[in-house]
Amino acid sequence: MNTPDRSGTDDRARSHRSTARSVLLIDKLAGMGITGGGLAIILAVLGIFVFVVVEAFPLFLPPETTREVRLEGAPGDPLLVGLNEYRERAYVIGTAPEVRFFDLTDGRLLRTVPLDSLQGQRIIAAARAPARDRLALGTPDGRILLGRVVFDATYPEEGGRISTARWEPGALLDPIAGDSPIERLAYAASDEGSMLAVASRDGGFFVRVESIERSLLGAGERTIRRHDLSDRLPASITAIAVTSDATRLFVGMADGGVQVWEVDAEQADLVETFQATEDHTTPVSALAVAIGDNTVIIGAQDGSFGGWFPVEDPTAGTRVESYHNVHRFEPHGAAIVEIAPSGRDRSFFTADADGEVRLHYLTTQKTLLTVDEEPPARKLAFAPKADGWLAGRAGGPVDSYALENPHPEVSLGVLFGKVWYEGYDEPQHVWQSTGMTDEFEGKFSLIPLLFGTIKGTLYALLFAVPLALLGAIYASQFLHYRIRNVVKPSIEIMAALPSVVLGLIAGLFLAPRLEHVVPGTILIFLLTPIFALAAAIAWKTVPIRITSRFPAGTEVLLLVPVVLAGIWISQLLGPVVERLAFGGDFQHWLYDTTDQRYDQRNCIVVGFAMGFAVIPIIFTICEDALSAVPQHLISGSVACGASRWQTALHIVLPAAGSGIFSAIMIGFGRAVGETMIVLMATGNTPIMDWSIFNGMRTLSANIAVEIPEAPHRGTLYRVLFLSGFLLFTMTFILNGAAEWIRVRLRRKFGNY
């Protein structure tokens, strides 16, 4: 009996086991690679999220201030204090005719410079020109000494920086207010001239104005004029302030009123008188003009204070502006004795009679910090870079403080609420991050950007969703498979077009041409469906011997010339409709009728361009979802007598509802995050208007526009990162909600 040879079988078995092990190993490695790649993507996204949060979070950190040094040898009851931009040198002026300079690194007295021109006269009043260290010092005999503290910095070859300070004397002016002692001074100086306001103890009030008209050949004509305003005051003077350009004067009075004067070398005009306190018995105790010269900060004897700037009166027949108390703050518990505005931004300090010092910001109307130390502060000075301050206290001590307050202009109210900005007639949502001068008031409302993002997305989806969804329904349920095999890949290839190319075509090609054919473009959406419907009805009347020659699903080819004819006829009728219905000029009619301007780059252009980018995504996912509906459901519906359209509408569409919803939400997310199309196809104007004929600015486009110019770790830089955080959060919420709804739809229609 022969024994069968099993060697071949064993070899095949060993080979099979070896192959199985290699396949399992490869499968395991592939699974590990896919899992690792997925985790890497999650970690990368999480890392980006953490980075964005870390960069935006400092916007909401509270400011901090710390006392660094007390100046040794400062005069008692200082009248003026000041420091240089590096916070290395300071000066203090008291009643003695001298200027004392200090080293702020250790508080020691460097030197004392006597004011010889005062001839031993005491200083009883002092004023500093806004944003400059030009000083005016008044004496009991009515004379005024002008001068300047000059800070210099040198950089030796061995490294480091050497800061120095010196006194540069100016003119000694003859008594402006007569022989009466000076009680209050206000001073401003610029390259075009200066203004010196003097209130004397006998009730006199005088303004000295110096104007310089420069010529091309050198120093120009100098004009000096003295105005006597003593008889034009309804009450005694309690505070004076002058704008930095030496053109406007504010006078606070004992009855709580404030006078506003326009003064030049020719005349002094009283512009307005308004009541700054609630009654006529509380005096104004302090005045200061904020950077920009538009807002005057007024403090009262009862501790109340606020910011006032001119606002147009809507009840007046002509454009008339009057001062309104726009910015209000929580009052102090005692009289305001000092207001020190920053020369860098709209921060300012207030000090009351009890010694409490507060830091505020005008635009946000927020009190940022409070310092309460003894003895009470009487004179304050902001560092030029707003990173420190000096406090001259009653009895002589002068303290130097460091201040960390990098983003005072940002708060939740500024970012998401209405803010009343200078030059506006009411609170508004405004985004305007930069200006031409350092006096510009930054406007960081994110609401116009969120509005623009939603507006652009909705108009794009209004164009894309109907075309993509209806096209997917027709392609999956009615279109001939040979045509579908050409159409679907062609539409999917559209998704590969770079968005920058679509934006370029939309901005440079489509927008200029669409501007001249708006009525014809609108007619396309009206006439083309009518033409298609008429063609379908006409097709029903064609004899069956002719229609039978076209396989089912190929009749769509006959609609192509119909659609093209509808577009062509719409463009032909456009000028006729514009002439008959819009007086020959649609844009002028639009402005005259609706007060809306037609912007060349508007939401129509964005809808076309961004819709073109979104259609492939929505179409592909919808078509896949519709095609994945089991065939037995369709066959059963048709067998029961339903038409193909009834089957598609009542069976296929609900069964694929979760996939269709996912497609729309993915398209929504694609449109929300789109950057280049909205950047190039809109005017990038952050306005809040639903009109389809103007543009907008989206969060993503704003980041692309602003980030190259944003100072590193500055306020704008961090607000842009906050915008990125909002985009990230919006996308996360939308995707999460879409997934939740998709699962519920799938459960609801999963039994089909």
* Three-state DSSP class for residue 287: strand
pLDDT of residue 266: 84
Interatomic CA distance for residues 441 and 576, integer angstroms: 49
User: Which CATH class, in words, describes the domain spanning 447-515+598-749?
Assistant: mainly alpha
Domain boundaries, the chain: 447-515+598-749
- Rounded to 5 degrees, φ, ψ at 241 are -150, 150
List CB contacts of 732: < 8 A, sequence separation 6 or more.
none
Q: Cα 696 to the chain's mean position, in Å? A: 14
List CB contacts of 319: < 8 A, sequence separation 6 or more.
312
Residues in the chain predicted with pLDDT less than 70, given as ranges, are 1-19, 131-132, 214-220, 314-320, 553, 748-752
Structure tokens at 362: 């005008």
DSSP collapsed to 3 states, 134-194: EEEEECCCCCEEEEEEEEEEECCCCCCCEEEEEEEEEEEECCCCCCCCEEEEEEEEECCEE
H runs (alpha helix) in 643-714: 644-647, 653-655, 657-672, 676-681, 699-706
The residue with tokens 């690194």 is: 105
H runs (alpha helix) in 506-652: 511-514, 518-541, 544-547, 556-581, 586-594, 603-627, 631-639, 644-647
The residue with tokens 């934006």 is: 503
Q: What are the contacts of 18-23 at 24+ separation with CB within 8 A?
A: none
pLDDT of residue 19: 67
* Three-state DSSP class for residue 380: strand
**Is there a contact between 623 and 488 (Cβ–Cβ < 8 Å)?**
yes
Residues in the chain, total: 752
H runs (alpha helix) in 369-446: 412-416
Question: What are the residues facing 101 on neighbouring strands?
Answer: 91, 111
pLDDT of residue 752: 46
**Is there a contact between 344 and 291 (Cβ–Cβ < 8 Å)?**
yes
Between the alpha carbon of residue 211 and those of residues 51, 188, 195, 636, 733, the distances in Å are 54, 12, 9, 96, 62
List CB contacts of 377: < 8 A, sequence separation 6 or more.
338, 351, 355, 357, 391, 392, 393, 394
Taking the model in full, what pTM does it have?
A: 0.85
pLDDT of residue 423: 85
Interatomic CA distance for residues 276 and 253, integer angstroms: 10
Side chain identity, residue 38: G
Interatomic CA distance for residues 29 and 36, integer angstroms: 10
| Concatenated DSSP letters of 53-110 | HHHHGGGGPPPEEEEEEEETTPPSS-SEEEE-TTSSEEEEE-SSSEEEEEETTT--EE
**Is there a contact between 621 and 666 (Cβ–Cβ < 8 Å)?**
yes
Q: Supply the DSSP symbol for 428.
A: B
**Is there a contact between 52 and 724 (Cβ–Cβ < 8 Å)?**
yes
What's the pLDDT tens digit per position in 314-360?
Answer: 665 455 678 999 999 999 999 999 999 998 889 999 999 988 999 99
Interatomic CA distance for residues 675 and 419, integer angstroms: 28
The residue with tokens 């500024």 is: 414
Question: What are the residues facing 284 on neighbouring strands?
Answer: 300
Interatomic CA distance for residues 229 and 249, integer angstroms: 12
Interatomic CA distance for residues 606 and 42, integer angstroms: 32
Structure tokens at 230: 């003593």
Query: What is the largest distance, in Å, between two alpha-carbon atoms of the chain?
Result: 148
Interatomic CA distance for residues 449 and 454, integer angstroms: 9
**Is there a contact between 472 and 717 (Cβ–Cβ < 8 Å)?**
no
Question: What are the residues facing 324 on neighbouring strands?
Answer: 309
